[in-house]
Amino acid sequence: MTETGRVTLYHWEPNANSGKPMLTLFEKGVAFESHYLDLLAFDQHKPDYLAINPLGTIPAMTHGDLVLTESTAIMEYVDEAFPGPKLMPPDPVDAWRARWWMKFMDQWLGPSFSMIGWSVFIGPSVRSRDPAELDAAIERIPLPERRVAWRKAISGAFSPEEMAESQRRVALGIGLLEEALGKREWLASDSYSLADINGFNLAYALPLSQPHLSNDTLTPNILRWLRAIYARPATKACWKMGRTDMAKRVTILESEPA
């Protein structure tokens, strides 16, 4: 272990970026203190959290005196720093594949999932609040690009071109996932890995949000994979920590194949 001391995870709901280190900690059997940040109340931009992560992004994790940010990097740290099942494949080619998929999710496909989610859930969830209060909260956001994203989500100002490009990427990503999962049981290798944790936290709601593109008929491999991850005890425990209606979306994976 590279550090000693208590582990605290600062997170929102057990999905997307917050869900990645959450589920990794559960899979490794690492006890941690949960510090829930209500993203819809802008907790991540309040002074207490900015003292932990001045960028105001979530999640963040502390391990003793060490402060870690960036969800995928935190996952890899947890896998290396703590005992428990190894979640990166030992074979160099499989490890390359795991990192390829995590980069693809983080930099290419994830932002499109995020734009769609912000337009249909995040923005509408806060839109009814006092405009002056919202404006003040947005002005406190440290990163200018995040201020722009919040304003677009709240006003519904993602352009038709932006939304069309996100939908194009999602459709392409679904095709690549289905193809890869037709070749092996898990995304990167024949063993469950960080690539699966990363992918699940972005793709778990595909059969709900994109039913015309991902269902038991069109994408049986994706549905098999999502159900297998959801059935894991660590995933069940992780998702019990959800506090919003968003957490209920994962229950679609409790349905049997059609």
The per-residue pLDDT for range 99-158, each reduced to its tens digit, is 999 999 999 998 898 888 877 777 787 888 888 888 888 899 898 988 888 888 788 888
Rounded to the nearest 10 degrees, the angle between the axes of helix 16-28 and helix 71-81 is 10
Q: Give phi and psi for 7, each to the nearest 5.
A: -105, 125
Q: Which two tokens stand for residue 245?
A: 């209606």
- With a cut of 70, which residues of the chain have pLDDT below it? 1-3, 258
Q: What is the pLDDT of residue 3?
A: 64
Q: What is the pLDDT of residue 1?
A: 46
Q: Which domains does the chain have, with CATH numbers?
A: 7-81 (3.40.30.10)
CB neighbours of residue 227 within 10 Å: 17
Q: What is the pLDDT of residue 19?
A: 97
CA gap 139, 134 in Å, rounded: 9
Residue identified by tokens 């999602």 is 170
